[in-house]
Structure 1
Amino acid sequence: MKKTIAILLMLVMLLPSQAFAASVSTSYVEKLYFESYKDSVKEVRAAQKKMNKVVCPDVQKLTSKSKASVAKYKTVAKSKPSKDVLAKAKADKDQDKKLLSKAKKECSASKKNIKKESNKALKDIAVYKAGLVKVIKTHLEGKDSLSQEQFTKTVHDGLTHIDSSFRDILYSLRTHSQ
């Protein structure tokens, strides 16, 4: 009875590593260890899109001010005013359009830099993840010398690093957008 239990325990411990010894697919490893990875990437992409709407609140104010000055200019022009009044309305309209154009350029450059930084961070995470997948596959195929405890710690540390990197990106995007 004791021998049977010992043999069963050995089979339970050895069988999983032997079953994977042939070959482990990357998709299997990703499904098993990185199930929330794609959701995290989607969350970053969504935050990038939201950033576009709120990173430059002055653009919205200047847009409404420019529209108001254009409408005022059209109203003044239709009422056949003096040259001075018309010139003043035109100068206000041109000034507002110029300010809006400048703000849009600055906003666009700012958004481009922020998005570039977050995309670089996503690429760094993808490279790190690929290395971790390789370590996992190597271990599951029995081609490394890591103990189960070392492997578990390595995977846990790697997954923690990836999660914290995603949190850092999201925090950065959210602070830029406020």
Structure 2
Amino acid sequence: MNLRERFIASIIAILSPLISGCETAEIARFYHQPSDTFYENMNFDIPALDKFKDNRILFTISVKQATYENYYVWLGLYATSSRSTPIKIIHATLIGNEWKKDYFINTEIDLTERSGDEELLTGEALIEVNGDFFNLFKNSPNITLEVAYSIDGEEKTMQFFIERRIEKYTVYPT
């Protein structure tokens, strides 16, 4: 063996335990494409958002992992002009393949706060997913969020299809 071959063999021998000790970590991320499109530009007038509007109020969602065992589902409401009556969020239901979980929110949202760009009025409600239900939520490929709300005394529902994507990362030993 010449010197070059020995050098390469030594490098491989040193690095092989590090490479074989690698593991992969999986992170589940959840997306609602129309809401993500809105959040990219904060553009209220995108045609894809029309089915998520009621009385010129846009309903959006965002799902974020808060801790190792908690997810937050944010329901965001946006409007271009103020309203004299609040929007009442009655309850939300998360529906998976073989499970269903109701969250009784019962809160009123006044669209009085301005968003970061100062053009849109905004309000929000929070749904916390944790405990035993966390694993069902995290491992479901298809999730639907159904929100029951009331505008001017008329009760309605709106559905959001949430897409789960698994991202894999290589974790190197330290």
TM-score bracket relative to the smaller structure: under 0.3
Relative to total residues, which structure has the larger helix share, 1 or 2?
1
Question: Larger RCO: Structure 1 or Structure 2 (Cα < 8 Å, ≥ 6 residues apart)?
Answer: 1
Q: TM-score, normalised by structure 1?
A: 0.22
Q: TM-score, normalised by structure 2?
A: 0.22
Relative to total residues, which structure has the larger strand share, 1 or 2?
2
Q: Looking at CA atoms only, which structure, 1 or 2, has the larger radius of gyration?
A: 1
